[in-house]
Structure 1
Amino acid sequence: MALNHDDKEKAFNEIETKNSERPVKNVCVITGGGSGMGLATAKVMGESHYIIISGRTVSKLEHAIDELKLMGIEAEAFPCDVSKREDVVALAHRAMAIGDVEVVIHAAGMSPTMADAQKIMAVNALGTIHVNEIFYDVMSEGGCLIDVSSMSAYFMPKAILPMKAFKLSRVDKKLFMAKMMKRVNLFPKKMRSQIAYGMSKAFVVWYAKTDAGKFGERHLRVLSISPGSFETPMGDAEKDNLQEYIESSALKRLGDVEEIAFLMAACADKRAGYLTGVDILCDGGCVASGVGSIKAKLS
């Protein structure tokens, strides 16, 4: 569902009432920008863009803004729970009021230790739908939207994925969520958060790829990036599960957030203007090792 007429009219009225003497800013919106990969990317993108970071935890956003401003980066924070459509609409309105929305990096997400399966699916899958649908209408021509998935998407056997449910995401979100959770609930209770995480991230990869044609109609790009194991607060929460991945990876280490931030900035750059409809796996060679299959955990 796109922005309705009233939403669009409100957004455009905000732009028209801006101070006409203020130069138009090139805006980069980063969901989940209060820490980790999102904050690291804000530091890179802040060299050329006005930054709006969003997230659910206000205190985390405030600390991130202080850090960005110490670096001389123009930035502001906007509280937003991407699982709530109205929050994402408000975020989009704010971004449009500031200037041309050139880049959106959707890094907000929840890992298996952060919530139950229902909440993980709502934030990771439904949140991605909200961000893509709403920012499609407000981004400036030539812009790029990057959805952040996870290498966990590659660990999900295709037989487990409810592909018919994926397709419902564009026609009936309530039924989409019901079908996704019905599949998750087939698994043992202790595995459901992990299954919801992997399934939701596989959906993100599918959704970004299948959105490319639509985005192309407005001369926009959309792609996904699937990080592996990185030194982040979310990674710290999952550290007990990471050792096997680190030992099996080609590089035998965790990634630095600066490495993924550089990749995101490079993909968003207009000089990479032919790049769309693809997932980029950045995992230090972990998936290539064959480690981490859900099938193996079930056997």
Structure 2
Amino acid sequence: MSDDVCVITGGGSGIGRATAALMGERGYRIVLAGRTPAKLADTVADLRNDGVAAEAVAGDVSDRDAMLRLAELAANRGRVTAVIHAAGLSPHMGDPATIMAVNALGTLHVNDAFYPVMDSGCVIDTSSMSAYLAPRLLMPTGSYPLSRTDPERFRRRMMGRVRLFPRRVQAGVAYAISKHFVLWCARTDAARFGARGVRVLSITPSTFATPMGEIESGETADYLARNAIKRAGRPEEIAFLYASVADDQMGYLTGTDILCDGGCVAAGGSLVRA
């Protein structure tokens, strides 16, 4: 076991859990964070049974102070060289304001919290295929920089855009905007972190066989039909992508997004329905 620490938000299930297992196999000390203590405890037990040094902290990424405490704890466990921010809410998992707070502001909180405690390694944020499939005109990109100077005004601007749409689609709009913001956040943080010797980028999954994927299964069949690979992704497949991107041998890769969607975006998928 090395002194390298890998922090994974949303590590209690799905993609986060699969990535924790693989990073543990690669010798990292694992620190998990999430909103559901029972899921975190189950994952930690499995990791420890496999000989991985692991612990978990219950915390919501939308809580800035909680993320600062998480970063401090992780730094006390060793050298933080991998932060995999996989936590997030789908349109079926919260109201529009909560989705925006968790997905958009949560990404900002995670990045900001780990900025002062890292001097090497990689931060990987997680977007969504929705960021590519939603119409570009939907995105209030001119207001994104407010997230770093006036987060409350940023939040109001984002929700103002969401409320322009019918209530029945507001959760989906909030999700698409929040995940588009993740792309911007990772890309624009690259220079800031790069000055400290740390890489920042994002990974964009589509439909994967996870608990979140099961919740959304009724709406994803048409996307899978468009995929070049006609199935949902397996958690271990994208876990390998996270682990590979975090590896030091990928040390020139930063400030970009990696789309892992089975070819749906390339096939011209869209969130717009006729």
- Residue 277 of structure 1 aligns with which residue? 255
1:174 counterpart (152, 175, 190): 152
- Residue 250 of structure 1 aligns with which residue? 228
- Residue 135 of structure 1 aligns with which residue? 114
- Residue 291 of structure 1 aligns with which residue? 269
- Residue 180 of structure 2 aligns with which residue? 202
Which amino acid letter does the alignment assign opposite residue 233 of structure 2? Answer: G
Return structure 1 stretches of 4+ with deviation > 3 angstroms. none
Report the CA distance between 1:24 and its aligned residue: 7.3
- For structure 2, the residue ranges without an aligned partner over 5 or more in a row are none
Q: What are the equivalent positions in structure 2 for 1:72-221 lying under 5 Å apart?
A: 72-139=51-118, 141-221=119-199
Distance 2:164 2:121 in 1: 40
1:168-226 CA deviation, whole Å, 9 max, x = no partner?
11110000000000000101100000010111000001110011011111011000000
Report the CA distance between 1:290 and its aligned residue: 1.2
Report the CA distance between 1:167 and its aligned residue: 1.2
Distance 1:74 1:150 in 2: 30
1:118-140 CA deviation, whole Å, 9 max, x = no partner?
0000000000000001101111x
1:225-252 CA deviation, whole Å, 9 max, x = no partner?
0001000000011010110011110001
Report the CA distance between 1:56 and its aligned residue: 0.5
Distance 1:36 1:24 in 2: 25
Distance 1:272 1:235 in 2: 29
Distance 2:120 2:43 in 1: 28
CA contact (8 A) 2:2 2:28 kept: no
- Residue 50 of structure 2 aligns with which residue? 71
- Residue 51 of structure 1 aligns with which residue? 30
Q: Is 2:248 the partner of 1:241?
A: no
CA contact (8 A) 1:24 1:100 kept: no
SS state of the match for residue 103, structure 1? strand
CA contact (8 A) 1:121 1:200 kept: yes
- Residue 31 of structure 1 aligns with which residue? 9
SS state of the match for residue 148, structure 2? coil
Task: Note the aligned Cα RMSD (angstroms).
Answer: 1.1
CA contact (8 A) 1:40 1:257 kept: yes
CA contact (8 A) 2:134 2:270 kept: no
Report the CA distance between 1:66 and its aligned residue: 1.2
The count of aligned residue pairs is 273
Question: Could you state the TM-score of these two structures normalised by the residue count of structure 1?
Answer: 0.90
Report the CA distance between 1:142 and its aligned residue: 2.2
- For structure 1, the residue ranges without an aligned partner over 5 or more in a row are 1-22
Distance 1:224 1:242 in 2: 22
Report the CA distance between 1:289 and its aligned residue: 1.2
CA contact (8 A) 1:156 1:202 kept: no
CA contact (8 A) 2:47 2:54 kept: yes
Which amino acid letter does the alignment assign opposite residue 269 of structure 2? Answer: V
Percent identity of equivalent pairs: 52
